[in-house]
Structure 1
Amino acid sequence: MSPSPRSPFLRHLFERGYVHQTTDLDGLDTLFERGPVTAYIGFDATADSLHVGHLVQTMILRSLAAFGHRPIALMGGGTTKVGDPSFRDDARPLLDDAAIEANKQGIQAIMERFLPFGDGPGSAVMLDNDAWLSELRYVPFLRDFGRHFTVNRMLTFDSVRLRLEREQPLTLLEFNYMVMQAYDFLELARRQGCRVQFGGSDQWGNIVNGIELGRRVEGLELFGLTTPLLTTASGAKMGKTAQGAVWLAPHRLPVFDYYQFWRNTEDADVGRFLKLFTELPIDECERLGALQEAEINEAKTVLAFEATKLCHGEDAAHSALASAQAMYARTGDDLSGLPVAEVASDILQRGVAAAELLQLAGLVESKGEARRLIRGGGARLNDSALDDETRLVGAGDLTDGVLKLSLGRKRHILVRPV
């Protein structure tokens, strides 16, 4: 049974499923009861876009602002130069300053769609830990702060222990990451009056280190809250697909594909994802999540539209919805949940053999397998049988900008030129 906090903000987090662990729930509840709280979440600049795996953290920052608190989105311009070793088998590739700066700008553009940056109450703040980490002198830093960390305890944290158990190398650079993140919390407490750090469940050890450092160095009472590791009902990691990460930036993933990702949610996940990734009232999330059989598609459409609206804006969400409905009207079948494969537009302009296109779309592993299926009558193009493996498929076969490939009755994919 979930706790029922007194503060509206924490009650909101528990009701919507955002809470995994807290360092001191009663103290944290009291803090949020007293008035506006400054809290932060860090994002390393390892790519020029966030992905769906960052959405829970982003929604928490958005909720902080909605409840009148002060969210800090901390860009890891400094920690990105080291790389977080948490739950990795190898070191992250080291990026140069230009790449880190470009990634920060890409992440900032996404954050500006979700958060109200400004100077007023509830406005979000964006900072970069490079502002203080790059100014540190190594020996004084070790002397002043390294003495508060024991190697014995650091070896017990999962980010270190699991790497060593798998006999994978852990560099001294990476080993320092948790000290740097702890120092971030201390600096934000000093500079911004920040009292709370949020993060994924894999950040628990780093958050606890920051709380302890603040207590030992400044006598501060700091708090931490982690979110659950999200998996789908079938056990897959949330936001991972066969095509890779589900990115939030349109140059990384087209808006329609983002919409399709949510529209393709497993039935058992719909209610939970509505609570986590939309701002619909709890009662409506539960009503939609309880729909059964064909009616659950209504809930999936609402989830896809609302999630796309938050990330890309209402106009883009309406456009994606209209595209899905147009495909449905054209075929009489609901195609809005089908996967999408992208093929270079010049390939379709000059035409490609049907057998080769099946392989390019990922429906088969080899052209030989594609030829056997076509000869056996098991392949279709736009719901019409493919009876010639050499038949050229081109731009003339597109309808509403896509074409549909099928193997048997259950395997379908939409092909779109890019």
Structure 2
Amino acid sequence: MELLQDLAWRGIIYQQTDEEGLKDLLSKEKISLYCGADPTADSLHIGHLVPFLTLRRFQQHGHRPIVLVGGATGLIGDPSGKSEERKLLTLETVQQNVEGIKNQLAAIFEFEGENGAIMVNNYDWAGKMDIVTFLRDIGKHIGVNYMLAKDTIANRLETGISFTEFTYTILQAMDFNHLYDHHNCKLQIGGSDQWGNITSGLELIRKMHAEESKAFGLTIPLVTKADGTKFGKTEGGAVWLDPEKTTPYEFYQFWLNTADADVIKYLKLFTFLSHDFIEQLEQSVQEEPHLRKAQKALAEEITRLIHGEDALEQAIKISQALFSGDVQNLTAAEIQQGFKDVPSYTVQNEAESQLVELLAAAKISPSKRQAREDITNGAISINGEKTTDAAYVLQETDKIEGQFTIIRRGKKKYTLIRY
């Protein structure tokens, strides 16, 4: 299927500056195009993914993606979607964030071959420009009235906007113009909140080049959930791409728990699965939703892409162990992932090797008497195996890699014992 048709089928296209012009351009030549992210944190989250995955779709059709990390714009702050000034980050913090984000983006793209991706940092050109050059060569081409008409700026006029954030759209326009000049970049893509910044770039290219110069912009709709709640958020906060912030198991579980009403939309947006296969999964959602085939496909595809095959297999292994209750074959590293948010207790003394003492000390059972009853009633499992011996003393073999014991009371109440 033709690229733009595929994007439309997946619900990826929100706005285009010149639909027919872009269609004509893509039919005639392979282009360079870019998408950027500002390093406001040391990791991207899943809310950043769709534009970059869209960039990858262009690469699969032979076009060259340019992945921009905003080392300069990250120092300024994008007013888009903000009602007040951002807290400015130090240069050192931004540079650290840049490195973290570059590593994450590297997992998404192919950097070898004829249309291998290029990664750039706008600090490399904007950081070297003096203020007079910026004002004369760039600022002269963007009118104040033009900028005031931008929603991102107009929405801030009542609450106030600094000159720093006021100039953000010019800096991003300068990025597009720089990539147009040095990489023949013809298209910028971004989230729907970036429409004003993208069109500023087109305005600058038009002003600084001959009239026949032509570039394009395309935006992607905000990802939403069918129930109206915000996409990409959990009780623990954002779902990050950094495995230290959101473990691969948590990442996998987020996608696995997608509602039936959302899963087909997310398969279209976040995976590279074929139309036919997605339509088969859609039929499965309608006819056999209890099998959750679509959710499993979604979770596997996106976890494999971001974290790799080994991390996916580990996430599946942890999920299966927790579902079955058979956790004794998990490694200590897998236990740290799977039991990150369950209550834990660190053994204090030798006496707590006695199971009754441990249950009471860790408040798994409210008292020693209740602990004995729980054990004899078969309510207590150690690493997935029930014990009914009230005199049981924990052995070294109960300590997974000498670090953890997992005690379950009843069917669902887990406690992680640390040593």
Contact 1:340–1:413 (8 Å) recurs in 2: no
Contact 2:345–2:415 (8 Å) recurs in 1: no
Could you say which residue in structure 2 is the equivalent of 1:130? 123
- Higher mean alpha-carbon deviation, 285-294 vs 272-281, is at 285-294
1:300 aligns with 2:275: no
Could you say which residue in structure 2 is the equivalent of 1:39? 33
In the superposition, relative to structure 1, how do residues 414 and 117 fare at CA in structure 2: closer, same or farther (>3 Å)? farther
- Higher mean alpha-carbon deviation, 296-305 vs 341-350, is at 341-350
Partner secondary structure for residue 196 of structure 1: strand
Contact 1:343–1:417 (8 Å) recurs in 2: no
Letter in 2 for 1:302: A
Could you say which residue in structure 1 is the equivalent of 2:256? 263
Could you say which residue in structure 1 is the equivalent of 2:8? 14
Contact 1:289–1:296 (8 Å) recurs in 2: no
Partner secondary structure for residue 68 of structure 2: strand
Shift of 1:340: 7.4
Could you say which residue in structure 1 is the equivalent of 2:308? 313
1:291 aligns with 2:287: no
Could you say which residue in structure 1 is the equivalent of 2:320? 325
In 2: Cα distance, 1:132 partner to 1:89 partner: 29
Shift of 1:276: 1.3
Runs of 5+ consecutive residues of structure 1 not aligned to the other structure: 1-6, 332-338, 359-369, 375-379, 384-394
Match of 1:184 among 175, 189, 210: 175
- Higher mean alpha-carbon deviation, 121-130 vs 59-68, is at 59-68
In 1: Cα distance, 2:18 partner to 2:7 partner: 15
1:277 aligns with 2:270: yes
Shift of 1:310: 0.7
TM-score, with structure 1 as normaliser: 0.79
Q: Among the aligned pairs, what percent are the same residue?
A: 39
Letter in 2 for 1:116: E
In 2: Cα distance, 1:196 partner to 1:222 partner: 6
Match of 2:46 among 48, 52, 69: 52
Partner secondary structure for residue 111 of structure 1: helix
Runs of 5+ consecutive residues of structure 2 not aligned to the other structure: 327-336, 353-357, 371-378, 385-395
Could you say which residue in structure 2 is the equivalent of 1:87? 81
Could you say which residue in structure 2 is the equivalent of 1:103? 97
Shift of 1:208: 0.5
Could you say which residue in structure 2 is the equivalent of 1:342? 340
Could you say which residue in structure 1 is the equivalent of 2:71? 77
Could you say which residue in structure 2 is the equivalent of 1:194? 185
In 2: Cα distance, 1:112 partner to 1:201 partner: 24
Give the paired residue count: 374
In the superposition, relative to structure 1, how do residues 280 and 149 fare at CA in structure 2: closer, same or farther (>3 Å)? same
Could you say which residue in structure 2 is the equivalent of 1:205? 196
Letter in 1 for 2:126: L
In the superposition, relative to structure 1, how do residues 160 and 353 fare at CA in structure 2: closer, same or farther (>3 Å)? farther
In the superposition, relative to structure 1, how do residues 357 and 152 fare at CA in structure 2: closer, same or farther (>3 Å)? farther
| Residue-by-residue CA offset, 1:210-249 (whole Å, 9 max, x unaligned) | 1111011113211000000001111122212221111111
TM-score, with structure 2 as normaliser: 0.79
Could you say which residue in structure 2 is the equivalent of 1:245? 238
In the superposition, relative to structure 1, how do residues 153 and 100 fare at CA in structure 2: closer, same or farther (>3 Å)? same
- Quick check: which has more Rg, 1 or 2? 2
C-alpha RMSD of matched pairs (Å): 3.6
Could you say which residue in structure 1 is the equivalent of 2:163? 172
In the superposition, relative to structure 1, how do residues 105 and 254 fare at CA in structure 2: closer, same or farther (>3 Å)? same
Contact 1:340–1:414 (8 Å) recurs in 2: no
